[in-house]
């Protein structure tokens, strides 16, 4: 059973389009995250939700909007895609927020390519 799953695995789209990435975890965790990994492998937090409430919102363009319909799901919607949005996006989950030091479990990633 996959603990943290993301769809799609690959996403190729044109500039200006709107796209969504879905994430689901079956670990019963309360906290979920979105990270962006750029072409140099640098990994940076974008958003974090705890019990469906936004607790971290990094300096991310407002074209990016996370949505958590329930504790097991955290989706990422991106409007008006730009070339610089090309990256691998990772979803992760943990029982409690990061300061608790609970292990974060990562999904397999979604490779977004904007042409």
Partner 1 sequence: AQSVTQLDSQVPVFEEAPVELRCNYSSSVSVYLFWYVQYPNQGLQLLLKYLSGSTLVESINGFEAEFNKSQTSFHLRKPSVHISDTAEYFCAVVSYNTDKLIFGTGTRLQVFP
The answer to the question of residue 45 lying near partner 1 (CB under 8 A) is yes
Q: Which of residues 96-115 bind partner 1 (CB under 8 A)?
A: 97-99, 101, 103-104, 106-109
b (16+ CB within 10 A) / e for 57-96 = eeebeeebebebeebebbbbebeebeeebbbbbbbbbbee
One of 12, 27, 54, 55 touching partner 1 (CB under 8 A): 55
In the set 90, 93, 112, 114, which binds partner 1 (CB under 8 A)? Answer: 90
Query: Which of 1, 42, 59, 62 is the binder for partner 1 (CB under 8 A)?
Result: 42
Nearer to partner 1, 10 or 18 (CB): 10
Q: Is 27 one of the binding residues for partner 1 (CB under 8 A)?
A: no
């Amino acid at each position: 059973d996959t603990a943290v799953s993301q769809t799609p695995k690959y996403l190729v789209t044109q500039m200006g389009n709107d796209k969504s990435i879905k994430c689901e975890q079956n670990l019963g965790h309360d906290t979920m995250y979105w990270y962006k990994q750029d072409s140099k492998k640098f990994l940076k937090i974008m958003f974090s939700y705890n019990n469906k409430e936004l607790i971290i919102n990094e300096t991310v363009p407002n074209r990016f909007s996370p949505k958590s319909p329930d504790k097991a799901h955290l989706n990422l919607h991106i409007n008006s895609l730009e070339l610089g949005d090309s990256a691998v996006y990772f979803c992760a989950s943990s029982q409690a927020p990061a300061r608790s030091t609970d292990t974060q479990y990562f999904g397999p990633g979604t490779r977004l390519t904007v042409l």
